[in-house]
Amino acid sequence: MLSWTKVRVAGPLAPYARGFGRELRGCGFTDLSTAEQLRLMSHLSRWMTGEGLDALSCEQIAAYCAARKAGGYVARLAWPLWGLPRRGAGPGAGRDLAVPEDGGAVPG
């Protein structure tokens, strides 16, 4: 079993984790890099829970980045997540955040 499939994401982003992992692998990310990105996604999802959020806007992503930087973190999320709010995707936007469980394409 690939290590990225063992990473667990809880909270509002949990339904999108597997599709995000598939998207990263499809873009050429290694198993290890994909696992790290999913750990970061898990951190974001926990932050969203703490902030009472179930959706993300560009402003909320910026607030998360600022909180992460203030916390001393240096790892960054991969580009697929950052591009999705600009494409109108994400929970609360009426579209899927990442690749659907059936393996379909990223919306946009």
Predicted confidence (pLDDT) per residue in 6-60, tens digit: 999 999 999 989 998 988 898 898 999 899 989 999 999 999 999 999 888 888 8
Pick the range with the lowest mean pLDDT from 5-9, 71-75, 90-94.
Answer: 90-94
Beta bridge partners of 90: 95
- Rounded to whole angstroms, the Cα distance separating 74 from 106 reads 27
Identify the CA nearest to 14 among candidates 51, 50, 54, 52: 54
Residues 92/97/101/107 CA torsion (nearest 10 deg): 110
pTM score, whole prediction: 0.69
Report the C-alpha gap between 40 and 27 in whole angstroms. Answer: 17
